[in-house]
Amino acid sequence: MESAFNVISTDHHSPARTGILRTAHGDIQTPNFMPVATRGMLHGMSLDDAIGCGTEVMICNLHHLNRSVGVDKIQAAGGLHYWMKWDRPLATDSGGFQVFSLGWGMVHGVGKIAGGINARPSESTALATAMATIDDGGVIFSDGRELVRLTPTIATKWQEKLGADIIFAFDEATSSLHDEKYNAQALTRTHRWARECLDARTRHDQLMFGIVQGGTFQNLREASAKFIGALPFEGLAVGGSYGQHAMVETLRWVMPLLPPEKPVHLLGIGWIQDIIHAVDLGVDLFDCVEPIRRARHQHVLTDTHYRDIVPVAKTRGDGPLVNDCDCAACATMTANQIKTWCRAHDRQGSRALAIHNTRMMMRLMADIRTAITAGRWPEWKKEKLQRIEQHQPSVV
């Protein structure tokens, strides 16, 4: 089968590259960023807003779609694209991240990036206190009302029913606090589950991405990159929970071992500096809830970091949130107006910020692609990272 991914241009000083990923619902320029439409909709803004921001692809959450609507109901409605009324590329995760976020992530008190969180020792609490219980065959999710069993085969079949263009293999993402022994056990499961997902496939109009795991251990990450990279996936992803500053180190371990002809997705990462470092190491795709989640908390994405709306409005006044921003919010509203709506808890305020933050992410990715194509990536990267360093985030 012809590859769905083509590299268009490369940087001469790093693995950074641009490309085109072809899907049944259109092409995706890479590097690119996927806003997260968890339950098939975006919090605080419409799909038309997302299109106006330049969004080419979004990612939805299998577990939450099934819980809130039902996979079979969405299939009966014509599939996820028709149900959402979105005719552009879509991705669905496998529910694997909820294995972490509702399991060990709850037990250990850690998120995707563990730095700065008041985490509990991994030996101190049993997984039974969480909402996800893991065994070698899969996971049982419980919210106190019902139990939902998810296995590699079920996750694959459900994603086929939804019909997204990009789907992910079912995996176990460990906590950044897990020791090497537990990570090795989880990696054995993830690798077996990857094969089971491939065996369960019946549709080949979808691109399936295998996920590299292994926690914070170089030997496990490298073993996983070699194993997953050798399987017949159309794309690859790097998952897991990271200690602070460990993401770049993890990518340095795994990226050289992954087949260069396949696109690589870094799951759940959306900070500007992280994206820049990841692109520099050859990553092609990203997703994160951060731009829209931050909007709900009245945070504005500048060209370097997030800031609270109040100091932004104090500085920008009756101008746009960010100088030269071309988003629909900045074109029609002032920073003071948006602040007023936010402080009054008017949804117009959070919608304006969601539009602005999403557009800023799309502009970032377009600027990255332009810099690589024009042969200016090293200079652009250095200048951008220096500006980020000079303007340390006031919102964390």
Q: Is 324 a catalytic residue?
A: no
Q: Distance between CA 184 and CA 177 in Å, rounded?
A: 13
Q: How many residues does the chain have?
A: 396
Between CA 18 and CA 25, with CA 20 as vertex, the angle to 5 degrees is 150
- Token pair recorded at residue 75: 């299939």
Find the helix packing angle between 272-280 and 377-390, rounded to 10°. Answer: 150
Q: Distance between CA 66 and CA 167 in Å, rounded?
A: 15
Contact between 67 and 56 under an 8 Å Cβ cutoff? The reply is: no
Candidates 11, 93, 165, 284; catalytic one: 93
Contact between 176 and 241 under an 8 Å Cβ cutoff? The reply is: yes
Q: Is 287 a catalytic residue?
A: yes
Contact between 32 and 365 under an 8 Å Cβ cutoff? The reply is: yes
Q: Distance between CA 37 and CA 21 in Å, rounded?
A: 20
Contact between 284 and 264 under an 8 Å Cβ cutoff? The reply is: yes
Q: Distance between CA 104 and CA 124 in Å, rounded?
A: 12
Is residue 171 packed enough to be buried (19+ CB in 10 Å), middle (13-18) or exposed (0-12)? buried
- Token pair recorded at residue 372: 């690589």
Candidates 49, 165, 280, 287; catalytic one: 287
Residues assigned a catalytic role: 93, 287
